[in-house]
Chain A
Amino acid sequence: MRRASALVVAAALSLGAVACGRSYAVAAAPGFVAIDKEQGPYQWRAVAPDGVAVAVRVVPLDDRADLPFWTHAVTLRMRESEGYALVGQRDVRSRDGTPGTELVFGHDESGKPFVYRVRLFLGKKNLYVVEAGGTKDQMARYEASVDWMLGSMKLL
């Protein structure tokens, strides 16, 4: 009960902070630290001390494709070019009710199994890609927190 309360408080704080000036809102769960001065392909990223990361990238669109297209494009890219195994796929919704797709990939790095989760949401002008990844063991350990962060994604 105390843990749930802490999550709600942390989420509220993070949402408030992150939502400023952005077209989406996402929260970092306790045990993760959000990196606001993000560079590279991500607009936001949160990491746990032992290596699990959750990140958001925003891809501007010109109304060129729908969600199934991007879902398929990402799947092909990861499977055929990167050699990732598609472990699962399901329909999801963002906190604001936008329909999306979650893809779960598996991949061995140096003989160690990793899990890579990707959620895709199609906004009016952008494609929102929320990614989470880490070793299989760590992802299992942080599963609740990762689920919570992925579920906190809200398109504004």
Chain B
Amino acid sequence: MLLWASSARAAGAREQEAFADQAIDLMKTGERAVRERLGTAQASRNAVWARCLDDKLTQLETVQRQAEDARGALRRASLREDVDAIQQAAGSMTRLDARAKELRTEADACVGRDVVMLAGMRDARGPARGELDQTIVSGQIAAEKSRADGGEEAVGFFSAPASTPASGAAPVVSAAPAAPAAPAASAGFAPTPAPSGSPYAGDVTHEASRLAYSADLALAVFQVDASLASVEAVARELGGYLAQRGDAQVTVRVPRPRFDEALARVEKLGDVVHRNVAAEDVTDEYVDLDLRLKNARAMRDQLAGLLKGAAVKDAVEIEKELAKVTEVIEQIEGRLKVLRDKVGYSSITVSFQANAPSPVRSTAILPFPWLDSMGLQALLDVPKVTP
């Protein structure tokens, strides 16, 4: 019995290693495909696509590195015949594989197509990743179910009797003893479905309005306190608010439609020595975040659905994933809120400075030394009169 169990564990570990190899191969293929798309987007100067694809590529590379680490851990655990470690590494591998698949789907969405890139990447070695995921996770859940039902030697899907996989074939994992398979629809961490239609279809019309305006004014140093208060008053009158105030600088936020009016009024408060008005286009970031938020919410909903009918062990894993996804959603929502505020309110910073910012002298110096002695200091510094 013990020999059989040991043999079964060894076979399970080999299957997992083969699965890991195949998953990493698939990640590499996907990464190459995304990289090619990125190159095409950059060549065609499509900044929105390029930025989105670049983001996905970076994430894919990270996932791939983690997967390689997990495969290493799996091999080491396999040599030690450490069932817990094998199970942990295989779990990581499954999650990373699912994440890679999501990223590939998101990369497809980057260019506004519903084409599943995997369709072109399926090779003769076996089923596509989604099928592998479902097989393995179904097996895992089945084994759990078996254990819960009092099944013998239930150590997850590693306790399955050896079923030597054909070279290059997908691991065929089955639970022992035979247990009813979990419904495919609720098995494992199913990837987020690709959004239908172009994710940018509804955004095209308002992309142009996602501009964050800001102005920096340097005023000559005169009646600073009164001027600072006046700037603040102007902002409040126009529906804005004070963002920051120091001894010689104030930043106010005014509603975007009142920006020009506010700027004109503030400029009249003093002698403007330097003026800089800028518009930052945050459309790309906004669209990207919006898309990521949709995907994350869909993922959260799926996980929440899975949690309802999950076994205890699965529930722990699902809750962990749910916590991660929830954190991501909160981060994205926070950033989106900042962006909306940035677009909805324009900032005007007024600073009072003795000298205009002039990193490079762009004008000749007049060769008249007497000009240098102009000013209050010379005028009011009256020399002592000797009787």
Interface of A with B (CB < 8 Å)? 35, 37-42, 45, 47, 51, 53, 55, 57, 59, 73-74, 77-87, 105-109, 111, 113-114, 116, 118, 129, 131-134, 136
Contact = CB atoms under 8 A, between A and B. Distances in A.
Given A47-B382, A59-B370, A85-B271, A133 B225 contact: no
B355 A106 contact: no
A81 B371 CA distance: 11
B33 to A, nearest CB: 57
Contacts of A82: 354-355, 374-375
Contacts of A118: 374
B375 A83 contact: no
Nearest to A77: B371
B374 A40 contact: no
A126 B336 CA distance: 65
B238 interface: no
Contact of A37 (B271, B370, B385): B385
A35 B385 contact: yes
B380 A83 contact: no
Interface of B: 219-225, 270-271, 273, 352-356, 358, 366, 368, 370-376, 378-380, 382-383, 385-386
20 contacts: A35-B385, A37-B385, A41-B378, A42-B378, A45-B379, A55-B379, A57-B370, A74-B371, A77-B372, A82-B355, A85-B220, A86-B220, A107-B220, A107-B222, A108-B352, A109-B376, A111-B225, A113-B223, A116-B375, A116-B376
Nearest first, the 9 A-B pairs at minimum CB distance are A106-B222, A85-B220, A85-B271, A83-B354, A85-B222, A41-B373, A108-B221, A133-B379, A113-B223
Contact of A79 (B220, B223, B373, B378): B220
A73 B369 CA distance: 12
Contacts of B356: 79-80, 83
Which of B271, B353, B355, B366 gathers most chain A CB within 10 Å?
B271
Contacts of A113: 222-223
B141 to A, nearest CB: 73
A87 B227 CA distance: 14
Contacts of B374: 74, 77-78, 82, 118, 129, 131
A47 B380 CA distance: 9
A40 B271 contact: no
Nearest to A73: B366
A80 B371 CA distance: 13
